[in-house]
Amino acid sequence: MNSRAQILSRIKQNQPGYRPLPDDIQQYAPAGQQEAQAVNKAAIEQFKTVLIAIGGAVADVYSYEEISAFIATHFKDHKRIISTFSQLSGSIERDWQENDPHSFENLDLAIIEAHFGVGENAALWITESLMQQRVVPFICQQLAVVVRARRIYPTMHEAYKEIGATDYGFGAFIAGPSKTADIEQSLVLGAHGPKNMTVFLLHD
Amino acid sequence: MITVGLFIPCYVDQFYPGAAIATLKLLKKLGVNVVYPAGQTCCGQPMANSGYEHLTGGCNHLFIDNFSGFDYIVSPSGSCVLHLKEHLHAQGQEDKAAHIRNRIYELTEFLTDVLKVKKLNARFPHKVGVHQSCHGQRGLMLSQMSELVAQPFSKPMQLLNMVEDLEVISLNRKDECCGFGGTFCVAEEAVSAKMGKDRVNDHLMNGAEYITGADMSCLMHMEGILRRQNSNVKVIHIAEILNAEPERIPVTTD
Amino acid sequence: MNTKNKDHAALSDDFNRDEARVNWHDETLWFVRAKRDKAAHQIPEWEQLRSAASQIKDNVLSNLHDYLQEFEKNAAKNGITVHWASDSKEHNQIVHQILSRHKIDRIVKSKSMLTEECHLNEYLQQQGIDVVDTDLGERIVQLAEEPPSHIVLPCIHKKKEEIGELFHEHLGTPEGMADPVFLTAAARVHLREKFVTRKAAITGVNFAVVETGEFVVCTNEGNADMGAHLADVHIACMGIEKLVPLRRHLAIFLRLLARSATGQPITTYSSHFRRPRPGQAMHIVLVDNGRTTQLGREDFRNSLKCIRCGACMNTCPVYRRSGGHSYHTAIAGPIGSILAPNLDMDKYSDLPFASTLCGSCSNVCPVKINIHEQLYKWRQVIVREGHSDGKKTAAMKAMSLTLSNPALYKLAGKAGRLVMRYAPFAVSNGLNPWYKHREMPKAPTQSFSEWYKLNKENE
């Protein structure tokens, strides 16, 4: 008998009687549009507070022009900038999507989009289709993410409801810059990944 | 009239008769008929917590012989009560064991939950630090635990608040273990003593004159440390504070 | 550190020789516990989350046989190769075979307590494979040639000055430099070179989803992602208990994990790996290594619910004052003390006794494992199966005899200090360990029972 069969047979013998799953925890089920807007507004506020607390930065914007302008001012010293947005102007590298992942090693700034964000922990859900290359949001020195303000949900329960059964090869919740506190619990931003993270909250 | 069987744990009997006397007097004062069965010894916890629960059969039978037939069994030790509640079983006497398990109370919870005491004639003009003994707190749920997200409550505090002129100090770590742990206190001497020192320091730093609690074993451990440090701070069982009548100087244990 | 043949008490004794360091260790971890409390108290439904997580894990353990096969099927559909390992040896061999097939002899590895449990690094090194741990804390203990002392904070026992010295020796940082920001920056440069040059990455698995065949890896540093997304081969090693049935169950576990571990609302990265990148090979190694045995132990199977958050260590008053290495096993602290005896009851017979049974561990556990109750139960099993000291057994028998007999008890009481006479079984040299740091209780002139006999008429 191979290991697989052995393990399965031992489990069969040893596992206890069936225990049912608990009911789902559903938190926010807003009754009407007004209520939904209030929930969204509260979630945005919480998102901002938490993001700043975990070392990120946030900018409220209303157009891609504003984002372009923000980048031109705040990231002007950055040499290598890539983005998945065709709407952005400035010195942004194009046609990088097919490059070898290792070629991003000297990436200064990546500007990508998130599907949505979560108020309780400032996490942004980004799948492979929005990263183009999986390594991009991790290898860059600085990360900027654009998310629609109306797509900030209160908790992880709403987040997974949004994700549902969508298909992706890779997806990640990203909350703030890369960090470590392994040396005497001193928090240091920029462990291996981005040293900073800016979130553009794009309002309609 | 309620008749209570008074269970005085072995080490309290031997070393801290003051706590036992105060428990007895307090219960009588509150209108309870108290009986102290003479043949009692121990709950069996020292063996059980050391992995020898199988050697507690004799203790269990003896306990049942001594404490069957009372309305309630009350003891000034949360740890012993918890042990009996969880582990008192005896072959051929399981109905009696079950009666005891359901009817045994630690002193403070008996006062708040059964007698529903609202007023005490007691005065203790001192700064007091309250030690939350783990088995009483986390096991018997005498008070809310800092780990849980839940409404605060405390049965010992409810009673101490009825004592005139008593000032309860606040601690930096309000419910950390003192490190007594039964045989742990000698088997893991280094950590046990260090835990005790740290717990005592928290009380000292916050200005306690007395350290009180519902478990004499923790207090015995902390007293050992206080006396080694030649501290003036004393330990006192909560029964002695609750029984400290305004016109009398409290009976301390030494 | 020489941990050979020393039990938890002896190793703790060593650790406590430097009291200032014990204070520092205790305060550092208490700080983490306090952060956990703060985070938990911000979630009104916290206890509901714990209950739900516990019930989901109950369901997983009760249906593991079918779930594992379904997970395997779904993962395979996603293009992931699934392997099964009965024990640590087979796990290590599987990993080695995969690497050999790809002709890779230098790899990066992110944190995985399973690979610590299996001693994968030592094994691969013996086969001539160079492994670089990429979690900063893990890299530090790797350079120091020590095991991690904590499952979430691997080098929490090390002071920054000691880390500075290590980095000076191995990474060439200036002598005497101990600033955490500087040291972290140095490690970043050192490890980036590894990430971009190594062809295979090993990661652990925090959660594996039956429904979708995907697995989730949580880090703050981003080291698992840096390794996996740059490597040609990604090997994810997981214990068979890491499953959750549905994707949406991740909401509950991700809400609990980081808050319990460090007080963060979520780890910086919660990465969901479902398919290999085009051209990449992705493997999952499912490991038993004693878990099916533990599953069959009714009193202890609950320990398999553990999500490795480390909250029980941070809250444990013993762990904080004895250090992770005093547990002489890969997973220290309260949870380690209920897991280890399943693997080797004799070697780890001391661990269930390294606790006061205060119960704080069970209260912070995000999946509600009854840790302190299991510690009590392990004590019974260890004694029953003959792994306890003969002297202790003799003392306990004498104690039992005395306490079962009121006449003997009274006699012993008169002779004085009954408890103290039987308790100090731990030493044989006649010294009473109580007395080392504590005064004995003063013996009163009469016991309560003696007083009662004289006074009961008046009372």
Domain membership of residue A20 (yes or no) is: no
More confident site: C439 or B5: B5
End residue of a domain, out of C388, C411, C446 = C388
Check CB contact under 8 Å for C403 and B59. Answer: yes
Per-residue 3-state assignment (H helix, E strand, C coil) for B14-30: HHCHHHHHHHHHHHHHC
Distance CA A89, CA A69 (A): 9
Least confident of A5-9, B75-79, C446-450: C446-450
Model pLDDT for residues B30-79, shown as the tens digit of each residue = 999 999 999 998 899 989 999 999 999 999 999 999 999 999 999 999 99
C90 touches A: beta carbon within 8 Å: yes
What number is the ipTM of this complex? 0.97
Amino acid, res. C131: V
Model pLDDT for residues C273-309, shown as the tens digit of each residue = 999 999 999 999 999 999 999 999 999 999 999 999 9
Look up the CATH number of the domain holding residue B19: 3.40.50
Distance CA C218, CA C216 (A): 7
How high is the mean pLDDT of chain C? 93
Please list every residue in chain C whose beta carbon sits closer than 8 Å to the beta carbon of residue B52.
380, 383, 393, 396, 400
pLDDT for res C414: 65
Q: In this structure, are B156 and B221 located in the same domain?
A: yes
Distance CA B19, CA B108 (A): 13
Between vectors from CA B114 to CA B111 and to CA B119, what angle results, nearest 5°? 45
Domain membership of residue B22 (yes or no) is: yes
Domain membership of residue B121 (yes or no) is: no
Check CB contact under 8 Å for A22 and C56. Answer: yes
Give the gyration radius of chain C's Cα atoms. 25
Q: In this structure, are B8 and B86 located in the same domain?
A: yes
Question: What distance in Å separates residue B30's CA from the closest CA in chain C?
Answer: 13
Across the interface, which of C28, C135, C240 has its CB nearest the CB of A7? C240
Look up the CATH number of the domain holding residue A161: 3.40.50.10420
Please list every residue in chain C whose beta carbon sits closer than 8 Å to the beta carbon of residue B15.
419, 441-444
* Residue A161 structural domain: 36-93+101-165+176-202
Chain-centre distance for alpha carbon C61 = 20
- The neighbour count for residue A186, using CB atoms within 10 Å, is 14
Contact B129, B206 (CB under 8 A): yes
Q: Which residue of A has its CA nearest to C180?
A: A183
* Residue B233 structural domain: 127-242
**C443 has pLDDT over 70:** yes
Q: In this structure, are C353 and C406 located in the same domain?
A: no
Least confident of A32-36, B139-143, C242-246: A32-36
Question: What distance in Å separates residue B117's CA from the closest CA in chain C?
Answer: 21
Q: In this structure, are B74 and B168 located in the same domain?
A: no
Q: In this structure, are C10 and C148 located in the same domain?
A: no
Distance CA B110, CA B72 (A): 9
Question: What distance in Å separates residue B116's CA from the closest CA in chain C?
Answer: 23
Model pLDDT for residues A138-154, shown as the tens digit of each residue = 999 999 999 999 999 99
**Percent residues over pLDDT 70 in chain B:** 97
- The neighbour count for residue C392, using CB atoms within 10 Å, is 18
pLDDT for res B251: 55
End residue of a domain, out of C236, C254, C289 = C289
**B142 has pLDDT over 50:** yes
Q: Which one of B186, B243, B252 would you mutate to disrupt binding with C, by most C Cβ within 10 Å of its Cβ?
A: B186
Q: Which residue of A has its CA nearest to C272?
A: A171
Please list every residue in chain C whose beta carbon sits closer than 8 Å to the beta carbon of residue A153.
none
More confident site: C212 or C434: C212
pLDDT for res C431: 57
Q: In this structure, are B47 and B148 located in the same domain?
A: no
Task: Kindly state the DSSP code that residue C277 receives in the 8-state scheme.
Answer: P
**Is chain A in touch with chain B: ≥3 Cβ pairs within 8 A?**
no
pLDDT for res B249: 57
**C425 has pLDDT over 80:** no
pLDDT for res C427: 37
The total domain count for chain C is: 3
Q: Which one of C378, C448, C453 would you mutate to disrupt binding with B, by most B Cβ within 10 Å of its Cβ?
A: C448
C154 touches A: beta carbon within 8 Å: yes
C386 touches B: beta carbon within 8 Å: no
pLDDT for res C444: 84
* Residue C442 structural domain: 395-455
Check CB contact under 8 Å for C136 and A182. Answer: yes
Check CB contact under 8 Å for B195 and C380. Answer: no
**C429 has pLDDT over 60:** no
Across the interface, which of B11, B41, B188 has its CB nearest the CB of C12? B188
In sequence order, what DSSP letters do the residues of C18-60 get, joined into one string? SHHHHHHHHHHHHHHHHHHHHHHHT-TTHHHHHHHHHHHHHHH
Q: In this structure, are C225 and C283 located in the same domain?
A: yes
Q: In this structure, are B183 and B109 located in the same domain?
A: no
Domain membership of residue C30 (yes or no) is: no
C185 touches A: beta carbon within 8 Å: yes
The total domain count for chain B is: 2
Domain membership of residue C240 (yes or no) is: yes
Contact C59, A21 (CB under 8 A): yes
Domain membership of residue B252 (yes or no) is: no
**Alpha carbon distances (Å) from C51 to A23, A156, C248, C313, C366:** 11, 17, 16, 21, 8
Q: In this structure, are B70 and B37 located in the same domain?
A: yes
Domain membership of residue A12 (yes or no) is: no
Question: Residues C409-438: what's their mean pLDDT?
Answer: 60
Q: In this structure, are B24 and B92 located in the same domain?
A: yes
Task: Kindly state the DSSP code that residue A151 receives in the 8-state scheme.
Answer: G
End residue of a domain, out of C289, C316, C343 = C289
Across the interface, which of C30, C356, C403 has its CB nearest the CB of B41? C403
C434 touches B: beta carbon within 8 Å: yes
- What residues does C109 pair with on adjacent strands? C133, C202
Q: Which one of C400, C422, C456 would you mutate to disrupt binding with B, by most B Cβ within 10 Å of its Cβ?
A: C400
Least confident of B181-185, C20-24, C68-72, C107-111: B181-185
Question: Residues 6 or more apart from C32 whose CB is under 8 A from it?
Answer: A185, C153, C262, C263, C314
**C428 has pLDDT over 90:** no
C276 touches A: beta carbon within 8 Å: yes
Model pLDDT for residues C230-269, shown as the tens digit of each residue = 999 999 999 999 999 999 999 999 999 999 999 999 999 9
Check CB contact under 8 Å for B197 and C437. Answer: yes
Q: In this structure, are B90 and B139 located in the same domain?
A: no
pLDDT for res A106: 95
Q: In this structure, are B100 and B148 located in the same domain?
A: no
Across the interface, which of C315, C321, C422 has its CB nearest the CB of B147? C315
Question: Residues C83-99: what's their mean pLDDT?
Answer: 98
Distance CA B237, CA B249 (A): 15
pLDDT for res C423: 46
Reported as a pLDDT band with limits 50, 70 and 90, residue C446 is: confident
Domain membership of residue C28 (yes or no) is: no
Check CB contact under 8 Å for A25 and C52. Answer: yes
Q: Which residue of B has its CA nearest to C364?
A: B147
Reported as a pLDDT band with limits 50, 70 and 90, residue A27 is: confident
Distance CA C382, CA B201 (A): 36
Q: Which chains touch A (3 or more CB pairs under 8 A)?
A: C
> Rounded to 10 degrees, what is the CA torsion of C419, C372, B213, B178?
70
